[in-house]
Structure 1
Amino acid sequence: MNHFLVKSTAQALFRSSRNYHRNFSTAAIAQLSHQHGGGAYGSFHGQRMSTLPEKKDHQPEENKNENNNAAVSSYWGIARPKVLKEDGTEWPWNCFMPWESYNSDVSIDVTKHHVPKSSGDKFAFRSVKFLRVLSDLYFKERYGCHAMMLETIAAVPGMVGGMLLHLKSLRKFQHTGGWIKALLEEAENERMHLMTMVELVKPSWHERLLVITAQGVFFNAFFVFYILSPKTAHRFVGYLEEEAVISYTQYLNAIESGKVENVPAPAIAIDYWRLPKDATLKDVVTVIRADEAHHRDVNHFASDIHHQGKELKEAPAPVGYH
C-alpha cells in the first residue's frame, strides 16, 4: 500500500513539473514576442526552444547574425553604446575605447640607468642580465619575435603587483595611493604592445609553446618574489624595462639600416597611440620604446619608496600617463 502511494505521488509530481515547464516556456516566448513587437525576435526564440532547426537554416546569413546579436544584447538588457571616432566613423575595437588611446611621450630619456646599490638591486640586475643572455641566444636578430616574446613576460608583473595590492587593500581596509590602477595600467599597456606585435609577427607553434611555458613559470615565480620582497621585485621590473628599451632601440636601428622592412603600422597601433594614418613600423617601435621607458621609471620609483622604509600608498602613484 505504501509503495503504491509513493509511486502515485512521484508520477503526479513528474507530470506537474513537466506541465509547468511547458507552460512556462510558452509563456516566456509569448512575453518576449509581445515585448519586442512579435516578428523576428519572438519567432527566433520560439525556433531556438523548438526542434525545428531547418527554419533557422533557411534564413539569410546576415539576418541570422542580426538575430543572434539582438537576442544576446536585448534579453539581458546589456549592450555597448555606439562609439564613434572623431571623423564620425564607427569605433572598430572592443579591446580599448577612444578615451583610452593617447599620444605617447617620445621625449622621455631612453638612456637612463639605475646603478645597483643594495644587494637586492644587484641580485635583480644580474638576474635580468642572465635572462637577457638566454633570450639573445634564442632570438638573435629576429627583432619582431623577440619583442613579441618580451611583451608576453612584461605584461605579467603589473598584473601580479596590482592583484596583490588589491588583496592587501581588502585585508587591511586601506587605500593604496592609486598604485593598483597604476600597475594595472602598466599591464594593460604591455598587453596592447603584444596585440600590436602579433599583427606584425605571426608566432609559430613552437614560439606559442614557449610563451605558455615561460608565462606559467614566470607568473608563479614573480608572485612569490613580490610577496617576499616588493622592493626587489619592482627593481627587477625596472631593470627588465631597461632591457626592453635597449631591445627596441636595436629594433629601431635595424629598421633605419634596412635590415627590417619599415612596413605600414597596423590599424590597432594607429588608433591606440593616435598615430598619423601613414605611420610606419618605425613610429610604432618608437612609441612602444617610450612606454617601456616610462614603465622603467615607475618601477624604479616604486622600489625607491620601499627602500626608504615606506609603503607605496605613502607616495601618489603616477596614474593616467596612458
Structure 2
Amino acid sequence: MLTTKSPLLAKTASRVISGSTINPAARISIILCQYHSPSSSFNTHQARSFSFTSKSPLQTTQSLQITPTVPRHRETKQSWPHPVYTEKQMQDIIIAHRDAATFSDKIAINAVRLLRSVFDFATGYKHDPKVASGEKKAGDATQFAMTEKKWMIRFIFLESIAGVPGFVAGTLRHLKSLRTLKRDNGWIETLLEEGYNERMHLLTFLKMHQPGLFMRLMIIGAQGVFYNAFFLSYILSPRTCHRFVGYLEEEAVITYTRALADIDAGKLPGFENARAPQIAIDYWKMNPDAKVRDMILYIRADEAKHREVNHTLANLDGDLDPNPFMTQYEDPSKPHPSKGIEHLKDVGWSRDEALSK
C-alpha cells in the first residue's frame, strides 16, 4: 500500500518496489505516511501516541511478515500418560489432614500456613476456616464470595507455584545419583511426573484465562523466591520438604473442593455449562463433551494423589527405601501404593505399609 501527496516520493518508492526481489513466501508492506504541507489543517501540537518512529513530518515504516511454512505448534506424545480415574474414585475424594507428630512436621505445617496466608492475600481469596476443619460443608460457606475471575487468578497462581517442588526435588536427587554413582531407587520419575502434572493444570487454566501484567510479575517474583527457598530446604531436609508439599496439597484439595461446591450451588454460572478446554480432554482422556466441573474433579483428584505421595515419601528413608509408587508387588490383589487412586491413602502410607510385599 503506497500513499503520499508527493509525486517525487511516489515515483521513488515505485522504483524501489519494482526493482526489488520479493520472496513469495513473505508478505511485505511498505507504508509511506502522508507528507503534510504547511497549509495542512493538521494540529502539530496534538498529543502523539508512543512510538519508535521519527518525529519529522515524513515517517517511513517498513514491516516484514513471513508466513511460516510449518505450524509453530505440533501435537506430541505425552511423556507421562495420565492414569485413568473413575467417576466414583473422583467423587470419593475428601478433605483430610495429617496431624503434625514430629518437630519436622510442625516446621512444615507452619511454613504452609505462612505461605497460605501470603498466597490468599496475593490472589484475594478467603475461605471459611470451618470448611477446612470439616465442621461445615464447602457449599454452606457464605461468608466469602469468589467470582469466576477470582477463581481463575487463584488457580493460575497456585499451579504456577505447585509445579516447582517436584522438579526441584527430582533435579537434586538426579544430581546426587550422578555424584554418588548410585541408583535413585525410582524416586526421580515420580517427582518429575508430579511437576509435569502440575504444569498441565496450569496450561489448562491458561486456555480459559490470560493473567494481566501485574499477575505475571507476581508469578515471576514468587517463583524466584520459592524455587531458591525450596532448593536450599531440600538440601537440608528432604523429609521436611515432602511433608511440606503434603500439607500444601491438603490445602489444594480444600481449594478445589470449595470451587466445586460453588459451581454446584450456582454461584459460578460461567463455569456451569462451560466446555473443558481440548488440552484437558486429551490429557485426562475425558469425554468430548466434558465440562469445566468435570475437569476440576480430575484436578482435585490429582492434588489428592500428590498429597498421598508426598506424605508417604516423608515417611520413608530417602537414601535407602525404594519408591513404593514405582514398585511391582508380589500380591497385586492387596492394596498397595500405585500411580492411580484406586487405593488412595488420604494422609499417606506408613513405612511398613509402603515396603510390604
Do the structures match in fold with TM over 0.5? yes
Cα displacement (A) at 1:202: 1.6
- 1:7 aligned residue: none
Pair 253,53 (structure 1): closer, same or farther in 2 beyond 3 Å: farther
Contact 1:108 1:293 in 2 (8 A): no
Match in the other structure for 2:244: 236
* Pair 200,53 (structure 1): closer, same or farther in 2 beyond 3 Å: farther
Compared CA separation, residues 317 and 60, structure 1 to 2 (3 A): farther
Which structure 2 segments of 5+ residues have no match? Answer: 1-18, 29-65, 126-145, 327-337, 341-357
Instruction: Decide whether the 8 Å contact of 1:102 with 1:274 is kept in 2.
Output: no
Q: 1:159 to 1:172 in 2, by over 3 A?
A: same
Matched AA of 2:120 = D
Change (3 A) 1:240 1:217: same
Q: Is the 2:25–2:67 Cα contact (8 Å) retained in structure 1?
A: no
- Tell me, in whole angstroms, the C-alpha distance in 2 between the residues paired with 1:195 and 1:182: 20
Aligned residue among 9, 17, 21 for 1:54:
21
Distance 1:252 1:55, change over 3 A: same
Residue 283 of structure 2 corresponds to residue 316 of structure 1: no
Alignment partner of 1:93 is 2:75:
yes
- 1:170-249 equivalences under 5 Å are 170-249=178-257
Q: Kindly tell me: are residues 222 and 210 of structure 1, through their superposed partners in 2, closer, same or farther at Cα, counting changes over 3 Å?
A: same
Higher helix proportion: 1
Shift of 1:108: 5.8
Q: Is the 8 A contact 1:120 1:232 kept in 2?
A: yes
Q: Where in structure 1 are there 5+ consecutive unaligned residues?
A: 1-51, 73-90
Report if aligned partners of 1:179, 1:312 keep a CA contact under 8 Å in 2: no
CA deviation vs aligned residue, 1:203-239 (integer Å, no higher than 9, x gap): 1111101000000000000000000110101100000
How many angstroms does 1:99 deviate by? 7.2
Aligned-pair CA distance for 1:103:
2.2
Kindly indicate whether the alpha-carbon contact (under 8 Å) linking 1:160 and 1:222 is maintained by their aligned counterparts in 2.
yes
Q: Deviations over 1:7-29 (max 9, x none)?
A: xxxxxxxxxxxxxxxxxxxxxxx
Counterpart amino acid of residue 54 in structure 1: T
2:84 to 103, 112, 117: 103
Match of 1:167 in 2: 175
Choose from 137, 151, 154 the match for 1:143: 151
Q: What is aligned with 1:276?
A: 287
Indicate the RMSD between aligned Cα atoms, in angstroms: 2.7
The residue type paired with residue 57 of structure 1 is P
Go from structure 1 to structure 2 and tell me whether the alpha carbon gap of 1:64 and 1:218 turns closer, same or farther (over 3 Å shift): closer
Corresponding residue for residue 40 of structure 2: none
- Paired residues of 2:173 and 2:188 also in contact (CA < 8 A): yes
Please give the per-residue CA displacement for 1:176-205, whole angstroms capped at 9, x wherever unaligned. 111000000000000000000111222111
Aligned residue type for 1:259: K
Q: What CA distance in whole angstroms lies between the structure 2 residues aligned with 1:175 and 1:258?
A: 52
Contact 2:186 2:322 in 1 (8 A): no
Q: How many residues align?
A: 244
Quote the Cα distance in structure 2 between the aligned partners of 1:274 and 1:302: 28
In 2, Cα distance between the equivalents of 1:225 and 1:196? 30
Any idea what SS the aligned residue of 1:106 has? helix
Q: Secondary structure at the match of 1:57?
A: coil
Query: In the superposition, relative to structure 1, how do residues 136 and 53 fare at CA in structure 2: closer, same or farther (>3 Å)?
Result: farther
1:2-50 CA-partner distances (Å, limit 9, x unpaired): xxxxxxxxxxxxxxxxxxxxxxxxxxxxxxxxxxxxxxxxxxxxxxxxx
Contact 2:187 2:322 survives alignment (8 Å): no
Letter in 1 for 2:170: G
Distance 1:217 1:313 in 2: 31
- Distance in 2 separating the partners of 1:58 and 1:93: 24
Amino acid corresponding to residue 116 of structure 1 in structure 2: A
Q: Give, in whole Å, the separation in 2 of the partners of 1:255 and 1:231.
A: 37
Deviation at 1:59, TM superposition (A): 6.9
For the 8 Å contact 1:102–1:272, the answer to whether it is kept is: no
| Residue in 2 that maps onto 1:113 | 97
Decide whether the 8 Å contact of 1:169 with 1:176 is kept in 2: yes
Q: TM-score, normalised by structure 2?
A: 0.63
Alignment equivalent of 1:253, drawn from 261, 274, 278:
261
Which residue identity lines up with residue 175 of structure 1 in the other structure? R
Distance 1:218 1:59, change over 3 A: closer
Shift of residue 54 of structure 1? 3.0
Distance 1:98 1:178, change over 3 A: closer
- Partners of 1:161 and 1:53 lie apart in 2 by 57
Equivalent position amino acid for 1:311 in 2: G
SS in 2 for 1:197: helix
Please report how far the alpha carbon of residue 268 of structure 1 lies from its aligned counterpart in structure 2 after TM superposition: 0.4
Q: Deviations over 1:65-98 (max 9, x none)?
A: 44x68xx9xxxxxxxxxxxxxxxxxx9634x539
